[in-house]
Structure formats: C-alpha cells, structure tokens
Amino acid sequence: MKIKSEDSAFYTYCCPYRKMTHFLPPRLVPHSAAKLSKPASEFVLNRNPRNLEKLCIAYRPSGWWLETPGRNYWHKLFIEKNSRNVSAYIQHYTGTVPLTASTREWAIKKHLYSSVDRSAFVNLGRILAHRCLQSGITEMICDHQPPKDAPKTNVEAFLMEMMNGGVSLTEPEQYVNPRPSDVFRPEKPWKVLS
C-alpha cells in the first residue's frame, strides 16, 4: 500500500508511533505541530478504581446496626492461622480480595524455619505491607488492636510490622458534602498541589 504524503490523516492514523492527529482534517494540522504537541482531550478517563477511596468520597457501606462484624470499611485486614500455615489477606467491602500473602507460598516458605512461629508472622507482615504499598492500599481496618509498646503475641508482631512497613491500620472518615444551610463545614481531606 502506497501513501502519498505524510500530512494525510490516514498516515497518522495507521502509524501508532506518530502523534495521534487522526481526528482532525489533514489540512488543519500542520505536520510540525503534530510532531511537537499532544492533542488535548475533552474527557479524562480515570482508570484507578481506588481514587475515590483515597479522596475519602467513595461510597462506604454502613451495614446494619445488629450486624457483627460491621461493614463500615473500604479495606479490611484478615489474619487466619491453622496448624500448618498462616494467611493474611485484604478484603474490599465488595467482597473481592485484592491482596493476599501466606506461608503456603513457596517463595515465603523456603526462607522460614517454621510456618507458624513468630518469625513467620513478622515476615508475613513485612511482605503484606510491601504488597499493599505496591498496589496503593495504604489504609485499612483490622479487628485486632495494634500494640502500643513491644508486641506480646504473634498477631501483635504481625500488626507492628505492617505499621512499620508504612500501612495505617485506621481508615479516615468518609467526607460528606455539606448542605448550603449547614453552619459547620468540614475541611476537605484532600490536598491540592500547585
């Protein structure tokens, strides 16, 4: 197939390494301008599903008053231990599990002496905290209380390593847009960078 000129819209549409000027007529976009600038988009599509949760304006289910445990969270940390291994996972309020770590994984198990002792809990906490930071989940709730001083149990050691890894075990409150008649207007939880 032979192309007559580089200024044609067909050429820029068919060659992905060229700037995307295929939506404009060929004579309105000079070839030098097409090389230097990107076209402005009318709409922005946010592909980050956790963006509204980070801004504290996403929907958070409140659950029922008599429901135990409650469902007032975006992400929740679960720790499960049986006689052979330890598992920890993060559950979203929709029921999906975006992150998990377990001593059943060969990459973790081959570095541990035992799969259920304190070193297994400590290392599992480090690994899950690292995975949380990689995926962008930095705040979650947990049914266990984090220790204030030196950890005494294995679960407290796990939670201490999660906090040392940069994960917060509390979630901020959901921002509720105030009505025009409200006297108190809470400060917005996000920061605008200039």
Tell me if 130 sits within 8 A of 165, measured CB to CB. Answer: yes
CA pair distance 87, 79, nearest whole angstrom: 6
Query: Which residue in 3, 92, 111 sits closest to 50, CA to CA?
Result: 92
**Is 0.85 surpassed by the pTM of this model?**
no
For residue 1, pLDDT beyond 60: no
Which ranges in the chain are annotated with CATH 3.30.420.80? 51-164
Q: For 48-152, list the strands marked E by DSSP.
A: 75-81, 86-92, 99-102, 141-142
Tokens of 127: 């690994």
Tell me if 12 sits within 8 A of 38, measured CB to CB. Answer: no
Per-residue pLDDT, averaged over 106-116, amounts to 91
Lowest mean pLDDT among 56-70, 125-139, 144-158, 162-176: 56-70
CATH architecture assigned to 51-164: 2-Layer Sandwich (3.30)
pLDDT score of 99: 94
Q: For the chain, list the strands marked E by DSSP.
A: 75-81, 86-92, 99-102, 141-142
